[in-house]
Structure 1
Amino acid sequence: MSKTEKISELKTNKTRKVAFMFNDELWQLFKQTCETNKTKPTWEIEKWILNYLDKNNALD
């Protein structure tokens, strides 16, 4: 499976809900920034996770 196929599968096959604990001010700033950039917090967190995995060669 290519890296692109792997990423596509990981982004579409969502079966797990995860709860995070954040400082309320940090979360509000993040949400506001996402809204300003016309994106969603979950999308940005997902991108961060995928970038982290890629940087650490976990998607190869």
Structure 2
Amino acid sequence: IAVYSRNGQKARQTAEKLIHDGRVDYMSPASYEAGSDMEHLIQMVLDHMEADASLSDLEGKCR
């Protein structure tokens, strides 16, 4: 996750370049408050990782 200052145009451009170059998958304003876009993004990434792990555990098993 590339983070950038909300008022830093150059930092945002750098984050966009990192996405374009495939060096990061996501970017977000550097806001560390509860309920921020970054908090939601991190929670979604963690949920995705948990789902992937659960699906891997089920792979090849019948239920």
For this structure pair, what is the TM-score category when the shorter chain's length is used for normalisation?
A: 0.3 to 0.5
Larger strand proportion of the pair = 2
Larger helix proportion of the pair = 1
Point out which structure has higher relative CO (alpha carbons under 8 A, 6+ apart). 1
- Find the structure with the greater CA-based Rg: 2
TM-score by length of 1: 0.35
